[in-house]
Amino acid sequence: MTYDQRITGSKGSKVLGVAAHTSLGGYCFIVQEDTVVTVFEVGGVDSLAAYGLSGTTLKAGAYISVPEQSTITAITMTSGSVIIYNG
């Protein structure tokens, strides 16, 4: 994937609500409302603490991205919603 594709979101996006979401392939997400994330995996590895998402409420507009060549593979939310952009 080139940098230009990441900026434009040319591979699509998806709204994710309260639930466990697996088999994802995103490179970032944007929080739509107060959101609590309890599972966050990057490349199949638990990354909740590494990204500072443990025990925190993300506010609307928060932008969470992973490094190039990395992929968000799973996310679980107990409240709120996000838009995830496909990589």
The reported pLDDT for the residue numbered 73 is: 98
Number of domain units in the chain: 1
DSSP codes, 5-39: HHHHTTT-EEEE-SEEE-S--EEEEEE-SSEEEEE
Q: Which domain holds residue 52?
A: 3-86
User: Could you read off the pLDDT tens digit of each residue along the chain, which spans 87 residues?
Assistant: 444 555 556 678 999 999 999 999 999 999 999 999 999 999 999 999 999 999 999 999 999 999 989 999 999 999 999 999 998
pLDDT score at 1: 46
Tell me how crowded residue 46 is: count the other CB atoms within 10 A of its CB.
11
Q: Which pLDDT score, from 0 to 100, does residue 87 have?
A: 81
